[in-house]
């Protein structure tokens, strides 16, 4: 397998254990995060995602250093002193104009005057958006209802837009497994995170990402992952920064089952 293919999955998964459907209590989420830090699997970013509204609970519970991704669900940015905040995810609705556009104000620190990388959440239907240099986008790939899942064409248009405009982006929600599959409980096709990564590679090489987003042939997806050139993998992962997963074990187990990551088998944690 090309070294580029292996690097496709390094630092891919943010720890979203506080969020549904897992929704761990703060103490349990931090304990799981500590265990993941000790295992140090390269697929995980070892970054802990936390809503701004829950920072007081985090501070009261935290007993070890962590790298944070902050989800801005409060009207104002809370005090961040003493915390290592690497990125901030911001609802695009904060920047809607009367005409319904999303236009993010510029400035030295991006929309917020902080050093952390910032990502504005939008849907494909809100593109194009006006972003200051250095600000990225965030796309929601699913949720708790069928309506929360964007179609392959919508997700593909978002990917193509980010690649064409050199915009880094994050993904969240719905990416529970590596390969696209039908969820009978919701009656919807769930996007696979392997499909997502390979779709970004397709867009980087100038191809339509939609066919790969729709692909369910496991063998073909694995073959494509093994054939990604190093340069394509590097560029794709510059653009796809990471995605948030409420499970930190399932992505590793899926990639291991597909032969796309290695390392000793880890004991499965309750998720």
- Tokens for 226? 């093994």
Residue with tokens 């985090």: 58
Cα–chain center distance at 42? 15
- Measured at the CA of 134, the angle between CA 132 and CA 139, to 5 degrees, comes to 90
d(CA 54, CA 46) in angstroms, rounded, equals: 19
Query: Which residues are CB-neighbours of 177 under 8 A, at least 6 positions away?
Result: 190, 192, 193, 250, 254
At 242, give phi and psi (nearest 5°). 180, 175
3-state secondary structure of 177: coil
Residue range 117-132, pLDDT digits in tens: 999 999 999 999 999 9
Using one digit for the tens of pLDDT, what is the confidence trace for 176-219? 899 999 999 999 999 999 999 999 999 999 999 999 999 999 99
Separation of alpha carbons 220 and 210, rounded Å = 15
Question: With contact defined as beta carbons under 8 Å apart, do 270 and 22 qualify?
Answer: no
Residue 113 has pLDDT above 90, yes or no: no
User: 234, exposed or middle or buried, with CB in 10 Å at 0-12, 13-18, 19+?
Assistant: middle
The burial class, CB within 10 Å (0-12 / 13-18 / 19+), for 79 is exposed
Whether residue 204 contacts residue 239, with contact meaning beta carbons closer than 8 Å, is answered with: yes
Cα angle at 205 between 201 and 206, to 5 degrees? Answer: 115
Query: Model confidence at 1, in pLDDT bands (50, 70, 90)?
Result: very low
pTM of the model: 0.92
Query: Do residues 195 and 179 lie in contact, with contact meaning Cβ atoms separated by under 8 Å?
Result: yes
The reported pLDDT for the residue numbered 263 is 56
Better pLDDT: 32 or 101: 32
The answer to whether 7 touches 260, Cβ cutoff 8 Å, is: no
pLDDT-based confidence at residue 266 (cuts at 50, 70, 90): very low
pLDDT at 99: 86
């Amino acid at each position: 397998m090309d070294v580029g293919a292996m690097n496709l999955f390094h630092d891919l998964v943010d720890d979203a254990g506080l969020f549904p459907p897992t929704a761990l209590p703060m103490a349990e989420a931090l304990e799981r995060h500590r265990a993941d830090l000790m295992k140090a699997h390269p697929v995980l970013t070892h970054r802990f995602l936390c809503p701004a509204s829950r920072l007081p609970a985090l501070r009261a519970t935290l007993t070890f250093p962590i790298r944070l991704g902050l989800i801005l669900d409060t009207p104002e940015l809370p005090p961040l002193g003493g915390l290592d905040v690497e990125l901030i995810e911001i609802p695009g609705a904060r920047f809607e104009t009367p005409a319904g556009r999303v236009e993010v104000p510029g400035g030295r620190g991006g929309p917020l005057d902080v050093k952390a990388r910032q990502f504005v959440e939008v849907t494909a239907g809100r593109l194009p958006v006006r972003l200051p240099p250095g600000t990225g986008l965030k796309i929601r790939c699913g949720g708790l209802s069928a309506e929360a899942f964007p179609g392959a064409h919508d997700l593909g248009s978002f990917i193509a837009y980010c690649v064409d405009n050199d915009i880094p982006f994050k993904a969240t929600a719905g990416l529970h497994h590596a390969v696209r599959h039908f969820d009978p409980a919701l009656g919807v096709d769930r996007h696979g995170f392997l499909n997502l990564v390979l779709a970004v590679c397709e867009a980087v090489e100038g191809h339509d990402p939609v066919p790969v987003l729709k692909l369910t042939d496991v063998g073909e997806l694995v073959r494509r992952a093994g054939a990604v050139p190093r340069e394509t993998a590097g560029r794709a992962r510059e653009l796809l920064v990471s995605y948030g997963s409420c499970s930190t074990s399932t992505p590793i187990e899926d990639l291991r089952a597909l032969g796309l990551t290695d390392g000793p088998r880890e004991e499965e944690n309750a998720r």
